[in-house]
Amino acid sequence: MLKPALFLAAALLPSLALAQEAPGGGAPIAPTFDVQAARTRIDAGLDRNYPQLQALYEDIHQHPELGFQEQRTAALLAARMRKLGFTVTEHVGKTGIVAIYKNGPGKTILVRTELDALPLEEKTGLPYASHAQQTRDGRLTYVDHACGHDIHMAWWVGTAEALLAMKDQWHGTLMFIGQPSEETVGGAKAMLADGLFTRWPKPDVGFAAHVGPDAAGLVTVKEGTLSSASDKIDITFHGRGAHGSMPQESIDPIVMGAHFVSDVQTVISRETAPGTFGVVTVGAFQGGTVDNIIPDHADLQLTLRSHDDVTRKRLIDGVTRTANAVAAMAGAPAPTIEHPGGASAVHNDIALADRAAGVMQAAFGKDATFVPAYMPAGSASEDFSEFIAAGVPSVFFGVGGSDPAMLARYKAEGKPVPVNHSPYFAPAPEPSIKRGVETLTLAVLMVAGTAGT
Ligand SMILES: [Zn+2]
Ligand SMILES: [Zn+2]
């Protein structure tokens, strides 16, 4: 079922209602296997196995690791998967892992988790809160699984366990991958560059899921574009340092940076059509040391978000042009502009998403939400898009993680619910992990299940 709000949107916007009838999209497709019977078996396994998944989650949560530093995390997961009978290769794309399990002829199915955490101090006050620190760019920083990748690792292991317990009901090859450094949108590229789809067979289908602040247990299946493209841009303005009392002797990079921060927003407000999604955020601006020295350089870090390739290019071009113009205006040398990372938007395969939505609705009823392709995509980004772009039709699910009582409390207090990347983000582990296991296991059975599963 569509959410009533989505029906309303379609009714109010005739052009969108027409788009709903686009070929191949617009509605969940009824499943061809007994979804409830399969779910009953998955849940019976979870009843036995959940405590060790919770323990794994708490262990990972207390030992978070930054992108490409996930040594302990990767080793932990590799050992778990080997114990289950998977053939595991470590250090794929630096710290990634590939776990293969063959169960007769059939499709190769990718199931991906991320391994990395964020440079952030956790403030949840949970008994298993992280106090870990790691070095990043030469500086010690707190580390926190504030994006929920620890939840994902637990449901990824749980899905492997569920599928092995039900291997009479499917055939094919499982390719479970633990991907490093999602937060820098660099880990998927690193695994692909290290031969993910040449050293191993290219998967026929891919699945992944992300926990979010929706009510715990709510599964969302979005047709088509799900997330935004993300581009990281680093800019250094080069000036001329001088005494703070002698600005005439300087070319002030802080003034250049300040001009840039406000001028660059016209790339959105004047160069991007109203209604077209685009974001330019300057998230870091570092320059100078003390009050009476005009520094000789300032460093800025930006993130750009867009939903389509034309807008993506326009934002990158606009940022570059503005930075060069600001430096020219100050009589400074050209700035250094680097584009160290980027990923395109995640596009869920329409036909596969329609089938998956049918399965999730059969399994979870009103706790499964279908969002048609014409509805807008989100502004968050995900480098799972790299696997899709490499030719793996996929579905990326959303799984709600917030305890309903907590949601009600925040609502009553008129406060916003902590979202991913907040130091207060604290999904409820049990309902999130269990729903993730059910969702990903059912998705694999949907494409690999033997008749009557
Ligand atoms: Zn994140
Ligand atoms: Zn994430």
Q: How far is the CA of 364 from the centre of ligand 2 (A)?
A: 24
**CA-wise closest residue to 159 among 86, 67, 233, 237:** 86
Domain 26-227+345-448 sits in which CATH superfamily? Zn peptidases (3.40.630.10)
Show the tokens assigned to 296: 């000789």
Q: CA 239, CA 255: separation in Å to the nearest integer?
A: 10
> Which CA distances in Å does 214 have to 183, 425, 426?
21, 12, 12
88 and 183 in contact (C-beta within 8 Å)? no
C-alpha of residue 116 to centroid of ligand 2, in Å? 9
Q: Tell me, in angstroms, the distance from the centre of ligand 1 to residue 395's CA.
A: 18
110 exposure class (CB count in 10 Å sphere: 0-12, 13-18, 19+): buried
Ligand nearest to the CA of 114: 2
The alpha carbon of 159 is separated from its chain's Cα centroid by a whole number of angstroms, namely: 19
- Which pLDDT score, from 0 to 100, does residue 16 have? 37
Residues near ion ligand 2 (Cβ under 5 Å): 147
Q: What is the pLDDT of residue 451?
A: 55
pLDDT of 25 reads 67
Please tell me the distance between residue 210's alpha carbon and the centre of ligand 2 in angstroms: 7
CA of 116 to the centre of ligand 1 (A): 9
Domain ranges of the chain: 26-227+345-448, 229-343
Quickly count helices (H) and strands (E) in the chain: 13, 18
Fold of 229-343: Alpha-Beta Plaits (3.30.70)
In sequence order, what are the beta bridge partners of 282? 302
- Give me ligand 1 centre to Cα 275, in Å: 25
Q: Could you give the CA distance from residue 323 to residue 260 in angstroms, rounded to a whole number?
A: 6
Question: Ligand 1 centre from 183 Cα, in Å?
Answer: 5
Asked whether the beta carbons of 433 and 104 are under 8 A apart, the reply is: no
Please report the pLDDT score of residue 322 as a whole number: 98
Structure tokens given for 22: 């686009």
- 259: CA distance to ligand 1 center in Å? 29
| Ligand 1 center to 117 CA (angstroms) | 8
Across the chain, which has 453 residues, the per-10-residue mean pLDDT values are 35 36 71 96 97 98 98 98 98 98 97 98 97 94 98 98 97 98 94 98 98 96 94 97 97 98 97 94 97 98 92 96 98 96 91 97 97 88 95 98 94 94 97 98 94 51
What distance in angstroms lies between residue 182's CA and the mean position of ligand 2's atoms?
7
Render 19-73 in DSSP notation, one character per residue. Answer: HHTSTT-SS----SS-HHHHHHHHHHHHHHHHHHHHHHHHHHHHS---TT--HHH
The whole-number pLDDT of residue 137 equals 86
